Structure 1
Amino acid sequence: MSARSFSFLKQPAPQYLRHFIQILVLLFLNAKLFQISATPIVVPFLHATHAPFSTAVGVFDAFESSITSGNFPILAVGIILITGVTIGKLLCAWACPFGFVQDLLNYLPISNKNIIPRDWFKSLQMIKQLMLAFSVFSSVLYGFQTITEDIDPIKKSPFHDAPFSVLSPSTTLFTYIPWAAYWKPDVLYKQPIAYLKLSILIACLGLCVVIPRFFCRYICPLGYMYDLTNKFKFLKIKTGSVKKEEANKQLKEVCPMDVQITTDDKYIDSPACIHCGKCFQYFPNQFSQEFF
């Protein structure tokens, strides 16, 4: 992949705006640092709700915790559906804190980006599906235990409240490590699962260095939920008059999600698109963003 995609000092001005907004969102989500109280706001992207300075609730955490408490996650599902059919994955690129971390890792001067063969793309996408299936199945199991009041053995499980979030590298980075570093340093040897959490985080960050947005592409279950609404979203990327093959070459240069056009439609049809804007900012004559 071209170095143009990952040079911090050589990119369109809107990309600096995108990173500035990511920083502002990160500060808002951790506003307890500035003595601001927590809010009941549910944000429609992956956020570590139990981070020590968190002031908001991540929609996927809300989704899991509603089910594990024995309730249907109507609020979380509603937020996901409304966001998905209007702006799609836009907030994955412009607001998600862990997405911001992955963006920063992509600016490291590693020459060999995108080492995974394109033929593996669909197979690896199944990991997201499995993560969502694991989350839903486990949450329903714990929710049933809660409803039947048979919760004593379940309460001993670290997966009780939010099954996926326990192992999510985002939660480990923004919640577990701060808590362990400043308040509970003995947690590492008291909880064996800590080593698994840290190993997953290190592996994920390492892969994100050589594969742009590895977590977003292949792991994030919330991203897969947004994938399901892709065909119905109002925000779309329109392609120009050049052939599909030429457009794909241009996307290969700049797209962090390795999006490729697979049909002759005039719109990018891939659910992987996070609307970071790089395609139409680097190639304004070929791509444009429309909302309808």
Structure 2
Amino acid sequence: MKLAFFQRLSQLCSVLLYNAYLAGFVTGSIYQGPLKLIPCPGFNCHSCPGALFVCPVGALQFFAAYGRYYLSLYILGFIALLGAVGGRFICGWACPFGFLQDMLNKLPVKKFKIPRRLEYLRYVILVGVIFIAAAVTREPWFCKIICPAGTLEAGIPLLLLNEHLRHMIGPVFIVKLVLLFGFLAWMAVAKRPFCRVVCPLGALYGLCNHLSFVKMAFNKKACVYDATCAPACPVDHRMYRDDPNASRCIRCLRCRSVCTPKAIHITAGQSSDPPRESC
């Protein structure tokens, strides 16, 4: 319970920190200061009235569309740096959209599992939409059509706060609203569907799970295989059955907090094999 509290607190703090430009929520303006040169670690729209940092996904798309590939290396380097430390730990501890999904999934409605094959779709979106489609068509299609964070955090608030923007409401915005409400409904009935199936930022962080300084390790001898950890995991990962450092794992440590002592370990700067028991 203590770990769950600190995780929720960390997630909430990330929401407040990333969107601390309070004047934007009053004036309906977007922050354009020097902090906008810094990528946001989590998934948060940079057009949100309160956003202080640039969305790395939006920036990658923009740079791919307009040929500024050297700037893409800056964004990718930032993501790689965070990923090299803890893999997808940002997804579990400091992502506003992950926090939203966790909260919506608490609604008392019937739940459904996400087929694991669907999880490969996030890599198709990362390569096909973020890079290839943007570079070929010179259009940021993910931000323009797909991204529910952009609609929820930027589109709706900016239209509510700026009457002169409302004439821009048209078929594209209607499609974005339909997708947003579709995602919100999916989040209520399944565990973190956006993270697992769609999110390109999570896909990039996930590639670092096996290479990061901090890793997860599982001790088969200590596990009693009672599946206690299964309900606690927000992405349906099974430490007793799956690769402890699979790209799916968001390293929220919920499994470790409910698991048999010594079955799940955190390792730093070493092999992810469990430590040997001394005689």
Note the 1:182-221 alignment, pairs <5 A. Answer: 182-184=161-163, 187=166, 190-221=169-200
CA apart distance, 1:182: 1.8
Contact 2:92 2:250 in 1 (8 A): yes
Q: TM-score of the superposition, structure 1-length normalised?
A: 0.79
Which of 14, 17, 32 is the matching residue for 1:25?
14
CA apart distance, 1:206: 0.7
For the aligned residues, what is the CA RMSD? 2.5
Closer/same/farther in 2, CA of residues 180 and 245 from structure 1, 3 Å limit? farther
Contact 1:63 1:76 in 2 (8 A): yes
Contact 2:105 2:191 in 1 (8 A): yes
2:236 counterpart letter in structure 1: D
Closer/same/farther in 2, CA of residues 256 and 66 from structure 1, 3 Å limit? same
Contact 1:45 1:60 in 2 (8 A): no
| Residue 260 of structure 2 is aligned to residue 281 of structure 1 | no
Counterpart Cα distance in 1 of 2:52 and 2:166:
24
Q: TM-score of the superposition, structure 2-length normalised?
A: 0.82
Contact 2:43 2:201 in 1 (8 A): yes
2:250 counterpart letter in structure 1: I
Closer/same/farther in 2, CA of residues 108 and 185 from structure 1, 3 Å limit? farther
Counterpart Cα distance in 2 of 1:129 and 1:184:
38
Note the 1:84-103 alignment, pairs <5 A. Answer: 84-103=83-102
Which of 101, 111, 120 is the matching residue for 1:126?
120
Closer/same/farther in 2, CA of residues 188 and 199 from structure 1, 3 Å limit? farther
Contact 2:87 2:210 in 1 (8 A): no
Contact 1:263 1:269 in 2 (8 A): no
Counterpart Cα distance in 2 of 1:188 and 1:172:
16
| Residue 251 of structure 2 is aligned to residue 268 of structure 1 | no
1:130 counterpart SS class: helix
1:290 counterpart SS class: strand
CA apart distance, 1:186: 6.2
Query: Structure 1, residues 75-107: CA drift from partner, whole Å, max 9, x if none?
Result: 111112222222111111111111111111122
Closer/same/farther in 2, CA of residues 57 and 215 from structure 1, 3 Å limit? same
CA apart distance, 1:37: 7.3
Contact 2:11 2:99 in 1 (8 A): yes
Residue in structure 1 matched with residue 77 of structure 2 by the alignment: 78
Query: Structure 1, residues 52-76: CA drift from partner, whole Å, max 9, x if none?
Result: 1211112212211222221111111
2:166 counterpart letter in structure 1: V
1:287 counterpart letter in structure 2: I
Residue in structure 2 matched with residue 252 of structure 1 by the alignment: 230
| Residue 250 of structure 2 is aligned to residue 291 of structure 1 | no
Counterpart Cα distance in 2 of 1:232 and 1:269:
9
Q: How many residues align?
A: 256
Residue in structure 2 matched with residue 63 of structure 1 by the alignment: 60
Task: In structure 1, list runs of 5 or more residues that go unmatched.
Answer: 1-11, 144-159
| Residue 205 of structure 2 is aligned to residue 226 of structure 1 | yes
1:220 counterpart letter in structure 2: C
Residue in structure 2 matched with residue 41 of structure 1 by the alignment: 38
